[in-house]
Amino acid sequence: MIFILFSEIFYYNSQIFLAKLYKTMYYEEYKLNYNFTTKRLIVKDWHSFEPKELKQPDLETIVEKILVPDVTKTFPVLWQGTYDKRRTKAWIQEIDSDAKALLAVEKDTNTPIGIINFFRVGDRREGTFFRLGYLLSKVMWDNGYATELVDGFIHWCKGNNISTILAGVDPDNTASIRVLEKNNFSKETTDGNGRDLLFVYDLIK
């Protein structure tokens, strides 16, 4: 079971400039606090954790352990396969250049269990649209963490005047589709890459 909406930023090369522009305008202008918690998780900027807050304090090691082939197999071809330190560092840098990334950590054990990322799309005059992606460590699949993580992000968005959350998913990725449906996303259309389904959550109705 794979939760990999995460890599979608690579399918939207035509929006990279806008994503970076909005990232600068929004993240720097509003200085939002991206931290949130759920029943079982603490979620924060993946560079912001103190060593004592994590069972494994090195971010590259954390991400390398998460990015196993079963997790990366639906990434763009360039990023599929196994990861070593060098490749993991490059992947982190790629994500940091295009999006905001948060690390989800299990409260009881301080164990990192997944990553969520998002970037701004659309015209800010029409509201704040975030493109959502997430992935979960394989050892944590089938425990409801993905549903809980997305639900926590929705509540964070509600508290920060975000108008809409968009999420794309491969039609064969039934697990991710179930996660979105459980969180009341509605399927709107086929995504811009011609294959993925686009799910939408409107926070202002």
Mean pLDDT of 48-70: 93
Domain borders along the chain are 6-202
Q: What is the DSSP string of 51-102?
A: GGG-SS--HHHHHHHH--HHHHTTS-GGG-S---HHHHHHHHHHHHHHSEEE
Mean pLDDT of 49-60: 91
- In CATH, the architecture of 6-202 is 3-Layer(aba) Sandwich (3.40)
Q: What letter would DSSP give residue 178? A: H
Output 76 or 90, whichever has higher pLDDT: 90
pLDDT band at 56 (very low <50, low <70, confident <90, very high): confident
Q: What angle do CA 15, 115, 59 make, to 5 degrees?
A: 105
d(CA 176, CA 180): 6
pLDDT band at 170 (very low <50, low <70, confident <90, very high): confident
d(CA 159, CA 82): 38
pLDDT tens for residues 21-32?
555 544 444 467
Please state the pTM of the whole predicted model.
0.81
Assess whether pLDDT exceeds 70 at residue 18.
Answer: no
Mean pLDDT of 154-170: 91
d(CA 166, CA 35): 20
